[in-house]
């Protein structure tokens, strides 16, 4: 039987190179990248099988970038969330942030939590944005949250203390590099990994559809035999 695609995670990489290839500043790539988020979210929300789309927008390591780029990304995120609210509501999309947003400005934190609050009754696709997210940071925060003096901590205890609680079925990275960059390490234990050279601003729902078709044909054994 063909694999079901419930949870897709994407490392949206290649914005800077997309802009530089056009002789433009890196930030132009981030702007274009934000538009692609809308296209891909629309596709996933219209797809009857996909329940969750988790997008890597800013990593715990991305603070190392020049201050101006980081500042631009923070502004873009605030602008994006404000602009997208009607889109979320009209498409019944629930927005969720994963990652440690306490490191963001008060103003940005408010926009993030307000968007979560305002879309919490949506029952269609869940779009999670990974914001100041690192899988190791998530795991450390999860472990510190578990209060179980009575007995041993189980896999379930950890999984349910993580920001992102669902296992990933399909893990995609755009931009040509073959690495995980600290993304959803626990949840991707049995994900199918797809890497494409397409830079994120050039990524389309047609390419996503073709990746999903390939994903369907893979024999997922989860350590068993078929
Ligand atoms: C991904 O694109 C977006 C973020 C990390 C915020 P990059 O900005 O990493 O683009 P490249 O990889 O340098 O081209
Ligand atoms: C991963 O891309 C993070 C996001 C897409 C948000 P990076 O461009 O930061 O990853 P590395 O540095 O190439 O591993
Ligand atoms: Mg990159």
Position 141 scores a pLDDT of 98
pLDDT digits (tens, 9 = 90+) for 57-111: 999 999 999 999 999 999 999 999 999 999 999 999 999 999 999 999 999 999 9
Distance CA 91, CA 125 (A): 8
pLDDT digits (tens, 9 = 90+) for 94-106: 999 999 999 999 9
Check whether 157 has a pLDDT greater than 90: yes
Q: What is each CA distance from 36 to 40, 77, 120, in whole angstroms?
A: 6, 14, 23
| Number of the ligand 2 atom closest to the C-alpha atom of 133 | 6
Which one is catalytic: 6, 62, 157, 202? Answer: 62
Ligand 1 contacts (CB < 6 A) are 12-17, 58, 62, 73, 175
Distance CA 164, CA 144 (A): 16
Check whether 226 has a pLDDT greater than 90: no
Distance 57 CA to ligand 2 centre (A): 9
Sheet holding 192-195, edge to edge: 94-98, 126-133, 52-59, 7-11, 170-173, 192-195
Q: Is 37 in the pocket of ligand 2 (CB under 6 A)?
A: no
- Evaluate the CA torsion angle 193, 155, 163, 49 in order and state its sign: positive
Instruction: Work out the end-to-end distance of the chain between its first and last CA atoms, rounded to an integer number of angstroms.
Output: 11
Check whether 149 has a pLDDT greater than 90: yes
Position 162 scores a pLDDT of 98
* Angle between helical axes of 67-90 and 26-46 (0-180°, round to 10): 20
Query: Which residue puts its alpha carbon closest to atom 3 of ligand 1?
Result: 13
What is the DSSP secondary-structure string of 73-113? HHHHHHHHHHHHHHHHHHTTPEEEEES-GGGS-HHHHHHHH
Q: What average pLDDT is seen over the chain?
A: 98
| Number of the ligand 1 atom closest to the C-alpha atom of 33 | 3
Distance CA 195, CA 181 (A): 13
Which one is catalytic: 13, 15, 91, 163? Answer: 13
The set of residues, in sequence order, having a beta carbon less than 8 Å from that of 163 and lying 6+ positions away, is 98, 99, 133, 138, 141, 142
Class of 7-216 in CATH: alpha beta
Q: Which ligand is nearest to the CA of 183?
A: 2
Distance 181 CA to ligand 1 centre (A): 12
Q: Is 182 in the pocket of ligand 2 (CB under 6 A)?
A: no
Nearest alpha carbon to residue 43 among 125, 118, 120, 121: 125
Q: Which of 11, 29, 74, 179 should be mutated for ligand 1, with most atoms under 8 A from CB?
A: 29
* Angle between helical axes of 106-118 and 67-90 (0-180°, round to 10): 20
Distance CA 15, CA 76 (A): 13
Nearest alpha carbon to residue 186 among 122, 143, 126: 143
Check whether 1 has a pLDDT greater than 90: no
Task: Look at 5-9, 204-208, 222-226 and tell me which has the smallest mean pLDDT.
Answer: 222-226
Percent of the chain predicted with pLDDT > 70: 100
13 counts as catalytic:
yes
Cα 124 → chain centroid? 17
Distance CA 32, CA 120 (A): 27
Position 23 scores a pLDDT of 98
Q: Is 69 in the pocket of ligand 2 (CB under 6 A)?
A: no
Query: Which residue puts its alpha carbon closest to atom 12 of ligand 1?
Result: 14
Domain boundaries, the chain: 7-216
């Amino acid at each position: 039987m063909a694999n079901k695609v419930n949870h897709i995670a994407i490392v949206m990489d290649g914005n800077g190179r997309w802009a530089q290839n056009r002789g433009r500043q890196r930030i132009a790539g981030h702007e274009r990248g934000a538009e692609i988020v809308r296209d891909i979210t629309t596709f996933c929300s219209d797809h009857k099988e996909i329940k969750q789309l988790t997008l890597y927008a800013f990593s715990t390591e991305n603070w190392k970038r020049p201050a101006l780029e980081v500042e631009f990304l923070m502004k873009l995120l605030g602008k994006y969330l404000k602009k997208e609210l009607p889109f979320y509501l009209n498409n019944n999309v629930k927005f969720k942030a994963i990652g440690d947003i306490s490191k963001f400005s008060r103003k940005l934190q408010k926009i993030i939590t307000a968007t979560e609050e305002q879309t919490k009754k949506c029952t269609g696709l869940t779009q999670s944005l990974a914001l100041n997210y690192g899988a190791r940071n998530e795991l450390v925060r999860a472990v510190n949250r578990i209060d179980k003096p009575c007995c041993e901590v189980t896999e379930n205890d950890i999984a349910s203390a993580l920001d992102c609680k669902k296992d990933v079925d399909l893990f995609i990275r755009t931009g040509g590099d073959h690495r995980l960059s600290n993304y959803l390490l626990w949840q991707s234990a049995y994900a199918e990994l797809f890497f494409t050279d397409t830079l994120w601003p050039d990524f389309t729902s047609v390419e996503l559809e073709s990746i999903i078709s390939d994903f369907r044909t893979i024999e997922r054994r989860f350590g068993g035999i078929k």
